[in-house]
Structure 1
């Protein structure tokens, strides 16, 4: 009898262990994060897996840009792919239009404890299409103004607080760029004047600083918006024609001009903060640096922004189960609650409670430029917009050409409008 009981208890224990093993939910995760972002995300995933024994994230990193989004679309169409993925909010309208993304309902968000009130309003809204939620933001990444404190001080353009002074207003900013060049620099400022992304982000910021409406009711740059676009492009073109910004400069050389001290200002993304921090730590920068929200050159503050977010693919014929959905939303919530380490990559956490912590408030320069979250402007809500989209290509064809002096600003703005409108129709 004793042997029988011992055997029975052992069987029960084995069954319990098996049931426990089966209860562990596996979450298949795809992202496009490489470099420093990739290292930080891997660390977060490892920590999640250690502290959440009921869930295991199995992550795969794919190639950034069009290859990633193409693979997501083709896999979802045949019922394959991940349970959750990173996604640029700027690509959301196209993802919804092509049937790639699954809506996350208000009840599902509530059950997971994910509340829109905990996110910056513009960021949360950018995660919606036609009022429906398709993603949960993870950060805000934007362009900022990097500056060489030593060069600004020499030109009497550095305030007592260690930040640039006299930069607001297009005339003041133009004068400051000239002053910096006259003080001995090769240029006043650098940015990527060749290609699409660097030009689009600055152009879109200056356009929105005029209160422009890039896309509305199926029309691009309708009415006087085309004139606002011309004004924004014209301001950028003047920097190049005045010789205070380099012509036809690719991404990496534009950064090198700043890090070498040849251009005391750089307009680029927050994702370059780790570059500056690492060079400074290694003693390779040669000057004190900082980063602030880009100046208000026209009527109101506005800065282009995008967001890494988490989305769920709409897998045809193999929809996510309630148990898997619960695990996915648990992971998303955890990631946002622990996003302070993600901020080390220069990003602004989308989750407001993290930005209110002492750890973030003392994280520089992030804390200084985090004010841009309140006036961030996301790409137009259109299936033609977003990362690696027709809007970027049309911008390269028309606005980049204008900035480099090969097209009149009005013609460039009208060309941008016409090219996008033709694709729309």
Structure 2
């Protein structure tokens, strides 16, 4: 009888252990919009996380179509309680997401429970994840506009310093002279894709200390001085076009080809083209090249930026689950702590410990332009901002055409102001 009771006790203990293990296992439903090289890198990080946390947490990931389809599906799914546990998001769209009730607040307690805090991230990205002081997103990276350069062409012109980086590029008059010197023999001084010129213009607007949006002061471009600063920024890029330093009309693939074929020493584009350059160089199909922060052509350093971040959808009708919440936060913290691999896509880790590590400092050219993380100009905090949002339409409708002579720069700036304020 004693032996029977002993065996029953052992079986009971085993069953309790199995029950506890089953309860401890958390399946975290994940949605992202990451395709191409970004998607491959993120999938590798998810696989690594799942391997390291086997029996504890499993990420069940799904990749959806970038842009409006992703954001619309997330909003509608959260509204009926069928959204994921975690999703990737652009920080520039946080105000719109909060306004629509799509996101759950991420509290200080959530952060501390995962061993992270605002102090672990760049101030610009951390602030961009909040609305009226309330946190709705945890930043993962910062991606922004940088200057790619042909090291061979710059070295021949005496524009490479002892540190191996470009020198003497700052100052509008000085930079324009450099572009003029390179614009000859069928070559262009700089390659700037027409459809992306607004990012350069917004960067130059930021370099003048312009304010794009202040709700209390009147909305978009609240003062006439701000409109003038936007006009000044347009004039710079239009001047490059008018002087023949860059083609009038050239879209991204052709603009990239101008640079990679050696027809232009400079290329202004986001850091997401870094993998393209790395691959071409590895194949022996590209000259010696590099990338640095945008030159400071006005008073301040500044460059357009956005961030991939992590959010927790506010799934309507779902009861709070403390263990699931802790698992989600553990996923977020782990991803940030392992974002060095993500930097291979050209992105700058928002997590300070990774960005300041010796491993990242050795990563070139990423560490050569990482300074833009501290001088980033994010989209203004408004529901009209972010990818696939009205602000992007305004840039395309008024500002890009102003660089090609379709609209006068001053008229474009004023029309953009009136259009956006009319939508508030």
Taking the aligned partners of 2:249 and 2:382, their CA distance within structure 1 comes to 29
Taking the aligned partners of 1:319 and 1:281, their CA distance within structure 2 comes to 51
Q: CA deviation at 1:71?
A: 0.5
Taking the aligned partners of 2:94 and 2:22, their CA distance within structure 1 comes to 36
After superposition, the C-alpha distances for 1:197-219 in whole angstroms (9 at most, x for unaligned) are: x1221111000100000000251
Map 1:50-89 onto structure 2 (within 5 A): 50-53=51-54, 54-89=56-91
Work out whether residues 155 and 179 of structure 1, in 8 Å CA contact, stay in contact via their aligned partners in 2. Answer: no
Residue 279 of structure 2: aligned partner: 278
Note closer, same or farther for the CA distance 1:98–1:319 as it changes in structure 2 (3 Å cut). Answer: farther
Q: CA deviation at 1:415?
A: 1.1
After superposition, the C-alpha distances for 1:182-201 in whole angstroms (9 at most, x for unaligned) are: 3x4521111221x3xx1221
| 2:246 corresponds to 1:245 | yes
Residue 270 of structure 2: aligned partner: 269
Residue 304 of structure 1: aligned partner: 304
- Residue from 207, 210, 222 that aligns with 1:209: 207
| 2:33 corresponds to 1:35 | no
Q: CA deviation at 1:4?
A: 5.5
Secondary structure at the aligned position of 1:95 is classed as helix
Listed as ranges, the gaps of 5+ residues in structure 1 are none
Residue 397 of structure 1: aligned partner: 397
Map 1:49-128 onto structure 2 (within 5 A): 49-53=50-54, 54-128=56-130
Q: CA deviation at 1:422?
A: 0.9
Residue 19 of structure 1: aligned partner: 20
Q: CA deviation at 1:321?
A: 1.5
Secondary structure at the aligned position of 1:162 is classed as coil
Taking the aligned partners of 1:181 and 1:163, their CA distance within structure 2 comes to 21
Q: CA deviation at 1:160?
A: 2.9
| 2:345 corresponds to 1:325 | no
Bigger Cα displacement from structure 2, 297-306 vs 4-13: 4-13
Taking the aligned partners of 2:45 and 2:157, their CA distance within structure 1 comes to 43
Residue 200 of structure 1: aligned partner: 198
Map 1:354-393 onto structure 2 (within 5 A): 354-393=354-393
Work out whether residues 185 and 264 of structure 1, in 8 Å CA contact, stay in contact via their aligned partners in 2. Answer: no
Taking the aligned partners of 1:176 and 1:204, their CA distance within structure 2 comes to 22
Q: CA deviation at 1:328?
A: 0.4
Taking the aligned partners of 1:404 and 1:350, their CA distance within structure 2 comes to 35
Listed as ranges, the gaps of 5+ residues in structure 2 are none
Normalised by the size of structure 2, how large is the TM-score? Answer: 0.96
Q: CA deviation at 1:45?
A: 0.8
Note closer, same or farther for the CA distance 1:93–1:319 as it changes in structure 2 (3 Å cut). Answer: farther
Secondary structure at the aligned position of 1:333 is classed as helix
Secondary structure at the aligned position of 2:345 is classed as coil
Taking the aligned partners of 2:192 and 2:15, their CA distance within structure 1 comes to 63
Work out whether residues 108 and 117 of structure 2, in 8 Å CA contact, stay in contact via their aligned partners in 1. Answer: no
Q: CA deviation at 1:373?
A: 1.3
Over aligned residues, Cα RMSD in angstroms?
Answer: 1.3
